[in-house]
Amino acid sequence: MMTSKVFYQGNLRTKCIHLKSGNEIITDAPVDNFGKGEAFSPTDSVATALASCMITVMAIKANQLNIEFKNISSDVKKIMSSNPRRISEIRIVINLPINVSPKEKVILEKAGDNCPIHNSLDPRLKRVVKYNWA
């Protein structure tokens, strides 16, 4: 079964449809690469998906440990390089205003650090992750 379908809309924009849910995502080329930058760029989506994946697997682990996992947020910064043009670094700060034991912090951080996207990205891609606990 296919996951999604992507349609080129012109003007360096795509419309991406998740086939199971029908949800849509629009992407634009960034301003520094001939685009309008009016939506997530494809590389923005990769960096953002990493943070989303990390938080999701942490939430799964928190649920298994009966930890109330709420008001969690993340700040994401994507850094590009050229020759070849690629994502060279992703910086993520995960804000966790929850009280957990030191052992639970280690378990949750390990879950985040081993999310499927983290494990799928090229190991040469620099990832800087900071966990801000309450």
Contacts with 67 (C-beta within 8 Å, 6 or more apart), sequence order: 98, 100, 104, 108
Residue-level pLDDT at 134: 85
Q: Are 119 and 99 in contact (CB under 8 A)?
A: no
Residues 29 and 46 occupy one common structural domain: no
Q: Which of 97, 49, 47 is nearest to 71 (CA)?
A: 97
Residues 119 and 57 occupy one common structural domain: yes
How many helices and strands, by DSSP H and E, does the chain display? 3, 6
Question: For 107-128, what is each residue's pLDDT tens digit?
Answer: 999 999 999 999 999 999 999 9
Residues 57 and 120 occupy one common structural domain: yes
Residue-level pLDDT at 29: 96
Q: Which of 83, 100, 91, 90 is nearest to 122 (CA)?
A: 90
Residues 11 and 29 occupy one common structural domain: yes
Distance between CA 14 and CA 134 in Å, rounded?
39
Question: For 84-100, what is each residue's pLDDT tens digit?
Answer: 999 999 999 999 999 99
Residue-level pLDDT at 77: 98
Residues 79 and 117 occupy one common structural domain: yes
Task: Report, as ranges of residue numbers, the positions in the chain whose pLDDT lies below 70.
Answer: none
